[in-house]
């Protein structure tokens, strides 16, 4: 069912983060056991996904990238249908045609997932322009990574959105890694949000592993986009805790860097804050984790039992 309002309860946000982590862990386990379709994980980035998506309303649209599981699950996607799509089954969101890299879910307001780095950036202004011309409510939220921020389409997209006064919330999940290349090898500055000023757009950087901070920043940014009808660039500084493509042994990652970010795990940070505030205890946390894993167990069973598409429909919806 399409979400009808933002969810801001911190325990609910933690539960959604745990669901994303359970999904990512299961994908990794399935990929390691093989054979299993390759998938790009977003483990470690749960706070960025949940913090932003929880600030969006029912009329808002989402364009995302190849690390889309967190955004989809945070938006309310059925993990069974997601897994079915990844596994090429008829019951998936796109009837098994998209795999993990091209999922769209109209009922959730997820316009597309782009496997082309920066591909979603090239389409976001067009989607926002169409919404504006048709007089439809809602803003357009476009997720991309620091790798896409090194491409020309990032600058073209934010410039066009600024010139045309388009309601786009650009969200850069700066996770330090661009496939197998570290961000420090491709850019000399630390802040991607700072690029916004060159195009007359406001930008802000936030701790992307702190779900409360991301949520507050996204709420404010989304409200500004709604009120002004102009774009905003929000940068969530986070870290991809797993490799680029499952399975991946991360042998190219500096062990000290990985340990540093593992100590700032977004789920652990949210758990400790809630426990300190008296909103959760260890038993409650264990129960949330068990519920998330049970949902993923059921999702795997659903996907495995789902049929493959009928070969007779191989060319359905294919146009020359």
Residue-wise pLDDT for 238-255, tens only, equals: 988 887 777 777 788 888
* pLDDT for position 6: 56
**Beta partners for residue 94, in sequence order:** none
- Asked if pLDDT for residue 22 goes beyond 80, the answer is yes
Residue-wise pLDDT for 255-285, tens only, equals: 888 888 888 999 999 999 999 999 999 999 9
Nearest Cα residue to 182 out of 236, 245, 239: 239
Residue-wise pLDDT for 6-17, tens only, equals: 567 999 999 999
Q: Please tell me the distance from the alpha carbon of residue 272 to that of residue 179, in angstroms, as a whole number.
A: 31
CATH architecture of the domain with range 10-239+253-302 = 3-Layer(aba) Sandwich (3.40)
Phi, psi of 55 (to 5 degrees): -95, -5
* pLDDT for position 233: 98
What are the domain boundaries of the chain? 10-239+253-302
Q: What is the DSSP letter of 311?
A: G
Q: In whole angstroms, how far apart are CA 283 and each of 47, 50, 269, 286?
A: 22, 23, 17, 5
């Amino acid at each position: 069912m399409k979400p009808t309002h933002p969810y801001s309860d911190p325990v609910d946000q933690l539960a959604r983060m745990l669901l994303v982590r359970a999904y990512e862990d299961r994908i990794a386990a399935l990929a390691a056991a093989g054979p299993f379709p390759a998938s790009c994980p977003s483990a470690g980035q749960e706070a960025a996904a949940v913090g932003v998506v929880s600030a969006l309303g029912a009329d808002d649209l989402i364009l995302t990238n190849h690390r889309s599981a967190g955004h989809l699950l945070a938006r309310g996607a059925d993990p069974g249908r997601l897994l079915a799509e990844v596994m090429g089954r008829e019951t998936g969101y796109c009837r098994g045609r998209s795999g993990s890299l091209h999922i769209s879910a109209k009922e959730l307001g997820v316009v597309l997932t782009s496997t082309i780095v920066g591909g979603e950036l090239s389409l976001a202004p067009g989607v926002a322009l169409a919404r504006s011309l048709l007089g439809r409510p809602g803003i357009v939220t476009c997720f991309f990574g620091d790798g896409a921020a090194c491409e020309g389409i990032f600058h073209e997209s934010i410039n066009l959105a600024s010139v045309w006064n388009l309601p786009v919330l650009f969200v850069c999940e700066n996770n330090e890694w661009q496939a197998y290349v570290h961000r420090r090898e491709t850019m000399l500055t630390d802040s991607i949000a700072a690029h916004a000023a060159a195009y007359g757009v406001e930008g802000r950087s936030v701790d992307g592993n702190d779900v409360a901070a991301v949520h507050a920043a996204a709420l404010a940014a989304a409200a500004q986009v709604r009120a002004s009808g102009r774009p905003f660039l929000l940068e969530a500084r986070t870290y991809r805790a797993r490799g680029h493509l499952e399975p991946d042994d991360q042998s190219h990652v500096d062990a000290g860097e990985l340990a540093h970010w593992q100590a700032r795990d977004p789920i652990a940070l949210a758990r400790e804050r809630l426990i300190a505030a008296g909103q959760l205890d260890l038993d409650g946390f264990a129960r949330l984790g068990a519920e998330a894993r049970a949902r993923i167990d059921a999702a795997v069973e659903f996907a495995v039992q789902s049929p493959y598409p009928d070969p007779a429909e191989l060319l359905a919806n294919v146009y020359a």
